Amino acid sequence: MVSLIEKCEVAPSPGSAAELTLPLTYFDHVWLYFHRMRRILFYKLPISRPDFVQTIIPSLKNSLSFTLKHYLPLAGNVSCPQDWSGYPELRYVTGDSVSVIFSESDMNFNYLIGNHPRNAKDFYNFIPQLAEPKDAPGFQLAPVLAIQVTLFPNHGISIGFTNHHVAGDGATIVKFVRAWALLNKFDGDEQFLDKEFIPFYDRSVIKDPNGVGMSIWDEMKKYKHMMKMSDIVTPPDKVRSTFIITRDDIGKLKNLILSRRPNLTHVTSFTVTCAYVWTCIIKSEAAIGEEIDENGMEFFGCAADCRAQFNPPLPPSYFGNAIVGYVARTRHVDLAGKEGFTIAVELIGEAIQKRMKDEEWILSGGWFKEYDKVDAKRSLSVAGSPKLDLYAADFGWGRAEKLEFVSIDSGDSISMSLSKSKDSDGDLEIGLSLSKTRMNAFAAMFTHGLSFL
């Protein structure tokens, strides 16, 4: 199904800094025991294996090397004290590199890039696994990034990314991918690398007047048995599907809500889309005959970039994690009823609006305490953001044909991915990974509801 062409290590280009160490902030600590992030970009490109080997592989290696000169921590490791006495940090030293696999597959490319239900296990052929951690004196060093490029002869190419969330949030990783794409497209010419793609590394801009970093780290150490420095991959028995919600549908959902609740102030594309998916998820459970506690609590969680919420704001190119989680919650029966969608929009909008500009809540670590109250098995979370356009990553082959968030397979909760549509401005793409029966029930709910708008 997949055969290896080459496995190599790509280091930052000559002239890079000899070393770089970044302390973790309290925004980073919480991701130490989180599952790894896995994304795949698919590109239509009718190229043969000889052309792939002779032109694509050398170009991608060279441009990646130039890109890593600016993104040194991604070539390095997360360094964690073996006795847990000190803080972890990101550390790059000369000689560190990123593992890159080049492979070839005879799988049906058009099947993989479809929106219909596809076997989730199939996608694990096209994402790399992070190398095992290495022991150093007093520390354990775990790599933070690996890449796999796969050729589908005469059809296309996929680029799979696996990264440790502790190295950076979606904004950081997307900027890295888009920087690499630009340098590949323009043969390493850095004049095409806009300022927004040059990382800002000064961690002193993250103020911690309340000592939140130490308190969160002390709390995290209680769960050190869960902090798997190894990258453990378990392909699930699920199917993946993509659903498109059009700008027209989003407008109708907004109008529906405002006709019912004219005084609501946070009725956005994000809010109505997530609320609609949440209620369809809830109702799909009953449709497949699951036994449900109607008074049990249901949770919705999303993360928001808080770079702009600081005073002064953090630079948009700040490298690392700068996201906080918002949680909405209510009883199952509230979401499953006729007013479920309206209730969901209200709850999600209120959660975001309440916290969006609350600098004190961010600086005090109040967002961290939210996680303790969430039952992962009864929650829906969001990966990705329409504000982060990975489809725009053009390596010289045009826009990506399909984006898959493979990591939504992981964990006890249901996770949805959300991104801009590749085809139409204003449309949104929703990715889900569910059991086959649950997916069929969800798809019926999703399509049926939109048809009545």
Contact of 175 with 142, CB cutoff 8 Å: no
Given 51, 208, 389, 394, the catalytic residue:
394
From edge to edge, which strands make up the β-sheet containing 77-81? 19-23, 89-93, 77-81, 139-143, 134-136
pLDDT at 228: 63
For residue range 137-191, list pLDDT tens digits in order.
Answer: 888 899 999 999 999 999 999 999 999 999 999 999 999 999 999 999 999 888 8
pLDDT tops 70 at residue 224: no
Neighbour count for residue 128 (Cβ, 10 Å): 22
CATH numbers and ranges of domains, the chain: 2-226 (3.30.559.10), 239-451 (3.30.559.10)
Let me know if 189 is exposed, middle or buried by CB neighbors in 10 A (0-12, 13-18, 19+). Answer: exposed
pLDDT tops 70 at residue 384: yes
pLDDT tops 80 at residue 359: no
pLDDT: which is higher, 312 or 240: 240
pLDDT tops 60 at residue 225: no
What Rg value do the Cα atoms of the chain yield, rounded?
Answer: 22
Q: Note the pTM of the prediction, 2 decimals.
A: 0.95
Lowest mean pLDDT among 37-41, 78-82, 364-368: 364-368
Lowest mean pLDDT among 81-85, 87-91, 107-111: 81-85
Contact of 233 with 129, CB cutoff 8 Å: yes
For residue range 391-414, list pLDDT tens digits in order.
Answer: 999 999 999 999 999 999 987 789
Catalytic residue status for 394:
yes
pLDDT tops 70 at residue 30: yes
Backbone conformation region of residue 273, classed left if phi is above 0, alpha if psi is from -120 to 50, else beta: alpha
pLDDT tops 80 at residue 368: no
pLDDT at 227: 59
Neighbour count for residue 424 (Cβ, 10 Å): 11
Catalytic residue status for 225:
no
pLDDT at 214: 82
pLDDT tops 90 at residue 343: yes
Given 28, 165, 332, 334, the catalytic residue:
165
pLDDT tops 60 at residue 226: no
pLDDT: which is higher, 206 or 104: 104
Distance CA 4, CA 28 (A): 34
pLDDT at 323: 92
Query: In this structure, what token pair is assigned to residue 40?
Result: 């795949």
Lowest mean pLDDT among 222-231, 247-256, 374-383, 429-438: 222-231
User: Mean pLDDT, the chain, as a whole number?
Assistant: 92
pLDDT at 230: 73
For residue range 112-137, list pLDDT tens digits in order.
Answer: 999 999 999 999 999 999 999 898 88
Bridge-partner residues for 139, per DSSP? Answer: 81, 136
Peptide bond into 46 cis (omega under 30): no
pLDDT at 234: 79
Angle of the 57-70 helix axis to the 170-185 helix axis, nearest 10: 130
Which is it for the CA torsion 132, 135, 140, 142, positive or negative?
A: negative
Instruction: Determine how β-strand 379-383 pairs with β-strand 414-420.
Output: parallel
Distance CA 65, CA 317 (A): 20
Token look-up 């799988």 returns 107
pLDDT at 192: 86
Query: In this structure, what token pair is assigned to residue 193?
Result: 């690398």
**Section 345-360 average pLDDT:** 84
Instruction: Determine how β-strand 139-143 pairs with β-strand 134-136.
Output: antiparallel
pLDDT tops 80 at residue 232: no
pLDDT at 383: 95
Lowest mean pLDDT among 61-75, 233-247, 348-362: 348-362
